[in-house]
Amino acid sequence: MQNLEAYYNKFNEEKRLTRRHGQVEFITSMHYIHKYLEGMDNPKILDVGAGTGRYSVALANEGYDVTAVELVKSNLGVLKAKKSSVKAYQGNALDLSRFKDDTFDLTLVFGPMYHLHGKDQKVQALKEASRVTKPNGIILVAYCMNEFCVVTYAFKENHIKECLERGMLTDDFHVDMPEDELYDYVRLEDIEEINKCSGVERIQIIAADGAANYIRPTLRDMDEDTFEMFMKYHLATCERADLMGATAHTVDIVRNTK
């Protein structure tokens, strides 16, 4: 937790989703959030790992009843300073005991899985999200993907020898991060195992940002018309199974089947 606090005290989480590559992730995630909110009658939303409130505040400003939980005090401070209607608390994705069972219609888990290590912690977090979500409610869970890490950090940024020496990659290049590292990464089969152990049922999985993080300078230099066309391309392809493992982030959309 101390490492996480120190990291986010330096990292500008507020600006992350305002940059072009971050906009792709935000626009896509909001597109699917709205898809599943449609038809719900006065839904209650929980944002677990809300960061500075990029999603929770936007949804509250649309008139939704939103509750947010954030571990990092500095992020929580930024969220609260926005003076929205979000009910915001400091808390941990592994323990949502503040909330009763079957409270929320839609739950977002958009930050915690990046930082929780190994299957057991991720399963615990998803089980907690499931517990506080109503039967047949919707949970959207974001993950950082294995191949993006290998291609960019290990090879593009030339850390491959270090990764191998530290035992951070298996023989088949599956990331195996030590717990003192801030981020953890998964493959599609890992997500499927987490779902199986958590007792949730997948509705669909999407590539939240697709190629965006691989072409950051290109996106940055695009004019507005070209960026709009890129977004049309991305939204047209982000459900394609053949592209899913290569994206930087996925959003797994599951139903609470309890």
Tell me how far the alpha carbon of residue 102 is from its chain's centroid: 22
Mean pLDDT over 223-251 rounds to: 97
pLDDT at 1 exceeding the cut of 60: no
User: Could you tell me if 23 and 96 lie in one domain?
Assistant: yes
Q: Which of these three, 127, 159, 181, is where a domain ends?
A: 181
Judge whether residue 91 has pLDDT over 60: yes
Instruction: Give the Cα-Cα-Cα angle 137, 45, 97 (nearest 5 degrees).
Output: 85
| Mean pLDDT across the chain | 93
Provide CB contacts within 8 A for 12, sequence distance 6+: none
Confidence band, pLDDT 50/70/90 cuts, at residue 67: very high
For residue 82, give the 3-state DSSP assignment: coil
pLDDT at residue 2 tops 80: no
**Are 91 and 173 in a shared domain?**
no
84 shares its domain with 159: no
Residue 6 pLDDT: 62
Phi-psi region at 227: left, alpha or beta (left = phi > 0; alpha = psi -120 to 50): alpha
Lowest mean pLDDT among 8-17, 19-28, 52-61, 168-177: 8-17
Domain check: are 24 and 152 in the same one? no
Band (58; pLDDT cuts 50, 70, 90): very high
pLDDT category, 11, cuts 50, 70, 90? low
Shared domain check, 90 and 67 = yes
Check whether residue 225 and residue 154 sit in a common domain.
no
pLDDT of residue 179: 82
Domain with 214 in it: what CATH number?
3.40.50.150
Res 63 pLDDT > 70: yes
Q: What is the pLDDT of residue 66?
A: 98
Cβ contacts of 10-14, under 8 Å, gap ≥ 24: 13/51, 13/52, 13/75, 13/78, 14/52, 14/54, 14/78
Where are the strands (E) in the chain, listed by range?
44-48, 65-70, 87-90, 104-109, 133-144, 200-207, 249-256
Are 204 and 159 members of one domain? Answer: no
Is 158 in the same domain as 216? no
Closest by alpha carbon to 6, among 256, 193, 180?
180
Cβ atoms within 10 Å, residue 152 = 14
Average pLDDT over residues 210-215: 95
62: amino acid identity, one letter: E
Which of residues 161, 181, 201 is at a domain's end?
181
Q: What gap in Å lies between CA 221 and CA 190, rounded to an integer?
A: 35
Which domain does 134 fall in, by range? 2-144+186-256
- pLDDT (mean) for 225-245: 97
Together in a domain, 151 and 139: no
In a shared domain, residues 79 and 159: no
Q: Is the pLDDT of residue 20 over 70?
A: yes
Distance from CA of residue 229 to its chain's centroid? 24
As for how many domains the chain has, the answer is 2
- Beta bridge partner(s), residue 46: 67, 107
Determine how β-strand 44-48 pairs with β-strand 104-109: parallel
User: What is the C-alpha separation between 23 and 123, in angstroms, rounded?
Assistant: 29
What are the distances in angstroms from CA 256 to CA 27, 119, 159? 24, 19, 40
Residues 23 and 79 in one domain: yes
Whether residues 131 and 238 fall in one domain? yes
